[in-house]
Amino acid sequence: MTIVQRPQFSLTVLVWCCIGGWILRSASEVQGLRKYSPSDMHRMRERVRQMFHHAYDGYLQYGAPYDELRPLSCDGIDTWGSYSLTLIDALDTLAVMGNYTEFGRVVQLLQDRSFDADINVSVFETNIRIIGGLLSAHLLSHHADLESMGLVKPGWPCEGPLLEMAEDVAQRLLPAFDTATGMPYGTVNLRYGVPYGETSVTCTAGIGTFVLEFGTLSRLTGNPVYEDVAMNALSALYKHRSPIGLYGNHIDVQTGRWIAQDAGIGAGVDSYFEYLVKGSILLEQPALMAKFLESKTSIDRYLKREDWYVWVSMSKGQITLPVFQSLEAYWPGLLSLYGNTKEALRVLHNYQSVWRQYGFLPEFYNIPTGEAGTNRENYPLRPELIESVMYLYRATGDPFLLEVGENILESIEHSAKTVCGYATIRNVLTHQQEDRMESFFLAETTKYLYLLFDPNNVLHNDGSIGSVVNVMKREDDATTEMHECVKSQQR
C-alpha cells in the first residue's frame, strides 16, 4: 500500500531487526543446558495462552467494565481512569496469540467508548496504556480480517476507528504540555485540561515517555503536533541534566528546578532511557540515540557497580541508595537493542539470581545485604524481567533464556494464580497474595512470555516482506507498554 498523504518514514525494527536480531547475534558461548524442541516451544506457548485466558476471562466475567480485576475478591475496581483499562491494554495480546475472533468482538465493542469524561487521569499512564493500546490494536487490526465488520478502512493504516480514538485521547492530554518549559504536567482532566492547583512537579519518566506513541500518531494522522510536543519535552529534559550528565527523579516543569535529585535507572526515570533508544529507531532520529549513549557513559561511571546499578546524587555522583528495583529489569533488554548483548547477559544474570532467591523480584532489593527491601517486598506481576529475557533470546538464541522464561512462568502459575485471575504477590518472602491484577499482566507479562516461545510470530518479522508490525515495548512496552508500530509496505 502506497501512502502519499503522510510524511514518509520507516517504522521498522523496534527490537532486533535493523540494529539487533540475527545480525547482532552474540558470539558468546551458549550457556543453556536444556534444548527446547519445536514441540517443547509449542507446549510452552499453550501454557502461556492458558495463563492469559484464565486472567482475561476472569476480568471479563468479574472485572469488566472496571479498569482492573480484583483477583481475590473476584470483582472489578477503577484505578487509573474508569475507562475499561484492562480491556484496551490487553487487546493487542489477543491478536499476538491469534485469537482474532475475540479481538474483533472487543474492537467492535469499543466503537461507542467515549473519553469525554470529567475525570483526572495520569498523563503518563493514559499515554502508555490507552493511546498505546489503541494504536497497537489499530495496527494489528488488518491481521484479524476485520474488513467485513467495517473496522479496517480502505485508508488503513492512516485511517480507522481505533486510530481516531487514540487521537481523541491524545488531544485531551495536550494541555499538559502547555508549560513554561514544554515539559508536561503529570495529571489532566479528560474534559477540562490541567486541574486547578495541580502540582507542577513531575517525574522524569512522566516527561520523557511520549515520543513512541505521539510520534506514531503524528506519522499516521499527518498532524505534527503530537510528535512536536513529545520531542520538545525530551529536549527540555536534556537541557536540565546535571553537569555530570545525570537526571534526577522529579522536576518542576514550570521552573526546571529539580525537586528529587536521586539519579538511577529505575522508578521515576526508567522509560526515559527506554524511549530515547526506541524513539531513535522508530523515528529514525540519531540524536535520540546520541543522548542515550551520552547518558550511558555517565551511568556507567557513577551508577554501575559490578553489573548492578545503584542510586546516586545527580550532582556529585555519591551513592544515596544501594538498591536494585524491579523496574530496572528492563535494562538488559534495552542494552540488547543496540547490540550490547554481552553486558546485557551479565546484568540479566544478576537480576535472575534475585528471582531465583525469592521466586519473584521484590520491588526493592538491598544489594549489599542481599535482602528484599523492608516494606518493599511485593511483586505486582511486572513484565520487565521477561521483557529483557525475550529481547536477549531473540538476539543471542541462548537456550538458557528459555529456561529462565519457564521458571518465571512456573513461579507465577504456582504462587499467583487465583480462582478468577492472578494476584500481586504482597511479600516475596511468604508469597502472600494481594487483591490486585494490574493491566500490564495481560498487556505485557503474558505477551512477552508468549513471544519468547513463539519464534515465528508475526511480530518477529523484520518488515521486509509485508506491511507491519514490529515490536517496540516498552514500553512498554516496547513502547514502555509493549505495543507495535507500522511500516509502509512501499516507501
Task: Report the catalytic residues.
Answer: 125, 270, 363, 384
DSSP 8-class letter at 113:
-
Contacts of 116 (CB under 8 A, 6+ apart): 190, 191
Residue 112 exposed, middle or buried by CB count within 10 Å (0-12, 13-18, 19+): exposed
Q: What dihedral do alpha carbons 103, 108, 109, 114 form, nearest 10°?
A: 120
Task: Return the closest-CA partner of residue 325 out of 353, 375, 361, 364.
Answer: 364
| Contact between residue 185 and residue 200 where contact means Cβ atoms under 8 Å apart | yes
From start to end of 269-348, where are the E strands?
Answer: 304-305, 308-309, 311-313, 319-321, 323-325
Cβ count near 7 (within 10 Å): 10
> What residues have CB less than 8 Å from 46, skipping those under 6 apart?
none
HEC profile for 336-357? HHCCCHHHHHHHHHHHHHHHHH
Beta strands in 74-220 (DSSP E): 75-77, 120-122, 187-189, 201-203
The distance of Cα 242 from the centroid of its chain, to the nearest Å, equals 27
- Between CA 247 and CA 230 the distance in angstroms is 18
Cis peptide before 195 (omega within 30 of 0): no
DSSP assignments along 29-43, one per residue: PP---SPPPHHHHHH
d(CA 114, CA 105): 18
Return the C-alpha cell found at 400: 538458557
Angle between helices 132-140 and 100-109 (to 10 degrees): 130
Helices and strands of the chain, counted as H and E runs:
18, 19
Among 82, 69, 93, which Cα is nearest to 437's?
Answer: 69
- The H or E element that residue 115 is part of is none
